[in-house]
Structure 1
Amino acid sequence: MMGTRSQRHQPYRRGGVPNWLLTGLVILFLGVVLYVAYFLYATVRNFVANQQIIEWSNPPVQPVSTGVVNAETTPAPTPQVWSGKERVNILVLGIDQREVDADEGPWRTDTMIVLTLDPVSMTAGMLSIPRDLYVPIPGYERQLGSNQRINTAHYYGDLFGYPGGGPALAKRTVEYNLGIPIHFYVRLNFTAFERLVDEIGGIDIYVPETINDPDYPDEGYGYDPFYIEAGWHHLDGKTALKYARTRATFGGDFDRAKRQQQVILAIRDRVMDLGLLPQLIARAPQLLQTLGNAVQTDMTLEQAQQLAWLAAQVDRDRIQSAVLDNYYTIPYETPDGQQVLVPIREKMRELRDTLFAEAPLPVSQDPLARLAQEGGRIVVENGTQTAGLARRTSEYLQARGFRVVGIRDADELRADTVIIDHTGKPFTVSYLAQVLGVPASRILSDTGSSAEADIELILGADFRLPGG
């Protein structure tokens, strides 16, 4: 039965204030905008030449075919090269906005992710910032108090008329508290998300645990229950949005942040499919019109196009991801009853220095040396009916330098083989996948759990031991 609320923006107990997550659009923005923006660049360049803030709203649309595009006859645009040599950090802001009150504001941000790209080492990363992080809003300590939730920075920036508005104050707040420069921002109004995911034919997602969220919010202030079982799913736009927004798992906001990053990588994998790109190019005008006012940024189209091309060259196994989860924060109840997260500054600095290092850490190119340096502990689980498969796989891996600390039967039979990274061992995970032929789409991250090993290798019916 549909519920109602008597107070606007009142959080529902398990799902929280609506997120309207569109972090997947970020990858369309940074991974496909090359093809979208460059295709249209010549026609809109004069229009945006004097714009410092770009709102991609209702551009003229040229008639194009809506049928399947022949990849062999659709030439890809020739991109310009990003000439910078310094790391680029982009703050992604997902604003808390619903269709029923789309013209109202200011808005808080329920999604804050820093995307980072190093053009020299050709590495990239994502850092998810929880909305309840309790930090100073620089310049407003006297007016607001010493600390506020970080998701209010955008709200107060618009409310108080901060130069550059909410995005500018959000950028300054992240810079102040993380100690990194934020070069650009992308603010997302998420109404276009579902159509964009549908435009690329949906995404493949592995759901690590069954989710039952009877309090998932609808478009207004009622409920639209969400349920999805554990396992592999092909999600359309509506379901992908629900999967990314829900907080109805044990880890709450931290789990949601991990699902956001999972959705981003799933969209990236889908978009990077060479068979899909020609169709996206042909539909570029419609895609750009779909975005409409949904995207605002202080990048020019030329900068976006160049960064997108650069991002597209980064290998999947050179993209790191992290969440400021309970390892980096302490839960705290303020005197007025707010449940917030106090940052552990020393641990946050360690993460920052790892994720945003100006140069890659020196490490031997020898795989055995790199495996030893990371020291990743692996547990092999047999999710098949083939007796002894986990033992044989363990012996195979140990002979190649992997550190296997246990074997066992999986909790259930599986069709697909997956690798789950629990503690952040990027080289071990990527090399393990390479050795065993596990595709990138079946590499999962679950860094908030208390697993007994760093990495779980769960063998499915599709698994074949190399040379076996």
Structure 2
Amino acid sequence: MAINLMDIQKVKIGGPAGEKLSSASFFDEHSSTRLRTVRQAEPVRPRYSIRKALRIFLIIVVLGMINWGAFLFFKIHSVSQRVTIQNEPRSLMQDVGSVVASVVIPSREPLRGEADGRINILLLGAAGTNKPGQNLTDTVMLMSINTSAKRVALLSLPRDLLTKVANTQLSTKINSIYQYGLSNDQGLDPIRNTVSEITGLPIHYSLVVDFSAFTQFIDNLGGINVTVERDIYDPRYPGPNYSYETFSLDKGFQHLDGATALKYVRERHDDPEGDFGRAKRQQQVIQAVRNKALSLRTFLDPFRLGNLLDTLGESVKTDVTLDEVERFVTLIREVDTQNVTNVVADAWNKDSLLKVSHLNTPAGRAFVLVPRTGNFGQVQDLVLNIFDLDRIRQRRAELDKESATVTIVNGSGDKNIPTKVESLLREQLKIKSILFANQLKQIAWEHTTVQDNTRGAKIYTLDELLKTLPATRATDNAILNSSTDFVILVGKDMVRPLSFEEDSVEEFKKSEDQQEYFEPSND
């Protein structure tokens, strides 16, 4: 006897009157064999299994995010207590509140310098604790961020640059000023203020990196990629305990671990550009580290990120507060890293901003670098226009067109000064026609003055004279009746700046390892 489909439907739903059929009624009508056939046709439906698995997965994700956030909060708080230089300690809740506020509340205080469109950051690299020359800064670099154009510029100042320590009468090599500040309980203030005076710019933030942290940081990143411009082979690279070891690296693409990267940025013996070539490599590595550190892969790896933060906490000092970190990270990710302006103040030729000279000390001659013009006017002009260097080149082109003539009058009291001023004008400003005149009154003038006989017709030459010497503009043309375009009355203020005799670059290179630390002394 066959079972028709209507009978099966009635078994499932009910009889003719809509009432349910009992299992007994069903057995009365059909055999047990056919019953098994009908029951096998009913599918077994797993209830809520997919939905339950989804809920469990979401719970795991949320818990993971909470744990990751808690880890990040505690890690940032711990690191911020060790890294930041600030007068008042911050609590954990203050740090957590800062991070949360930066995410929840879009409005924020601008970074220092941001309102003016330019943020200047002093970057220092030191050997580190328990190392020879532990607080001497081999790296002195000014990073400027153009916040509107989203561009970055790096200016490297050589460690042997001789300069006055800001707010003192002391002079020393720039690499010794950070040590001076620590020894006198002034921290970063002396080096920060000194670099500000050299560049003519305010320093908004500072960052000091221990070279041992540099090695560990790059290892935690998994290494960096750089393109080496030339083969390097240096059998005299400084090793442990004042020994030497061989450092070599082939030209071309290289993946560097921390130890090799450190040697790469510190090597200078086998570089034809010496300390200046090293500064260029330091700038190159900074860009490579930036690209790797801000990658999504680094941020999403909790172990790597934790190790990076620990390294920062141990060996980095900065005055960037936690409130400002989030904005800095965002700003740095926005800048155009393919269009970074790299400038190194060097002393290689007559057109360089610096020159090699020396000081006589009880230990012998100490070779130093000094501004070729005797002042930092050209450095300040370079820094001011670092995002538009074409402006400087255009001014020089206009100056050449003016073909100005100059007469030099010596009012300094030093008979050797006029010829030094002449060399300065010929080498730096390319002025060809220069005459000398005797001083009408035998008195010493305090300040150098420029008389403009063109009455503003050759404005580019006048501007360069005032900035380069430097000098003030005469209020009248009473210095000397001359047919030349300009008359320069050289004052006593030019004697000290132009007193440094120029030595050879070869002598300087030979002495680079002999005297790293230069004790600050009175002028």
> In the alignment, what sits opposite 2:233?
212
Matching residue within 330, 333, 340 for 2:368: 340
Residues 171-320 of structure 1: pairs in structure 2 closer than 5 A:
171-248=192-269, 249-279=271-301, 283-320=304-341
Q: 1:43 to 1:52 in 2, by over 3 A?
A: closer
> In the alignment, what sits opposite 1:93?
124
- Alignment partner of 1:341: what SS? strand
Structure 2 distance, partners of 1:361, 1:241, is 34
> In the alignment, what sits opposite 1:127?
155
Structure 2 distance, partners of 1:215, 1:301, is 42
Structure 1 distance, partners of 2:289, 2:310, is 20
Structure 2 distance, partners of 1:91, 1:352, is 13
- Alignment partner of 1:355: what SS? coil
Q: 1:256 to 1:51 in 2, by over 3 A?
A: closer
Counterpart amino acid of residue 156 in structure 1: Y
- Alignment partner of 1:138: what SS? coil
- Alignment partner of 1:140: what SS? coil
Q: Return structure 1 stretches of 4+ with deviation > 6 angstroms.
A: 36-39, 49-52, 79-82
Structure 2 distance, partners of 1:361, 1:250, is 27
Structure 2 distance, partners of 1:135, 1:264, is 26
Q: 1:263 to 1:49 in 2, by over 3 A?
A: closer
Residue 318 of structure 1: how far off its partner (Å): 3.6
Q: 1:348 to 1:240 in 2, by over 3 A?
A: same
1:40 aligns with 2:72: yes
Structure 2 distance, partners of 1:179, 1:225, is 41
- Alignment partner of 1:321: what SS? strand
Matching residue within 152, 156, 159 for 2:183: 159
Q: 1:41 to 1:169 in 2, by over 3 A?
A: farther
Higher-helix-fraction structure: 2
Counterpart amino acid of residue 201 in structure 2: I
> In the alignment, what sits opposite 2:356?
331
Q: 1:47 to 1:96 in 2, by over 3 A?
A: closer
Aligned-pair Cα RMSD in Å: 3.4
Residue 45 of structure 1: how far off its partner (Å): 4.8
Counterpart amino acid of residue 117 in structure 1: I
- Alignment partner of 2:263: what SS? helix
- Comparing 269-278 with 122-131, greater Cα deviation is found at 269-278
Counterpart amino acid of residue 198 in structure 2: N
Residue 44 of structure 1: how far off its partner (Å): 5.1
Structure 2 distance, partners of 1:234, 1:43, is 29
- Percentage of identical aligned residues: 33
- Alignment partner of 1:239: what SS? helix
Matched-pair contact (CA < 8 Å) for 1:333–1:339: yes
- Alignment partner of 1:333: what SS? strand
Greater length-normalized contact order (CA 8 Å, ≥ 6 residues apart) = 1
- Alignment partner of 2:317: what SS? strand
Q: 1:283 to 1:233 in 2, by over 3 A?
A: closer
Counterpart amino acid of residue 210 in structure 2: N
- Alignment partner of 1:352: what SS? helix
Structure 1 distance, partners of 2:275, 2:215, is 21
Residues 17-166 of structure 1: pairs in structure 2 closer than 5 A:
40-41=72-73, 45=77, 53=85, 83=110, 84-86=114-116, 87-97=118-128, 99=130, 107-141=135-169, 144=170, 147-162=171-186, 165=187
TM-score by length of 1: 0.56
Residue 324 of structure 1: how far off its partner (Å): 1.0
TM-score by length of 2: 0.51
> In the alignment, what sits opposite 2:32?
none
Structure 1 distance, partners of 2:260, 2:243, is 18
Structure 2 distance, partners of 1:221, 1:324, is 29
Structure 1 gap segments, 5+ residues each: 1-35, 61-76, 363-468
User: Rg larger in 1 or in 2?
Assistant: 2
Q: 1:215 to 1:82 in 2, by over 3 A?
A: farther
CA shift digits 1:31-53 (9 cap, x unpaired): xxxxx999734665599699971
CA shift digits 1:380-422 (9 cap, x unpaired): xxxxxxxxxxxxxxxxxxxxxxxxxxxxxxxxxxxxxxxxxxx
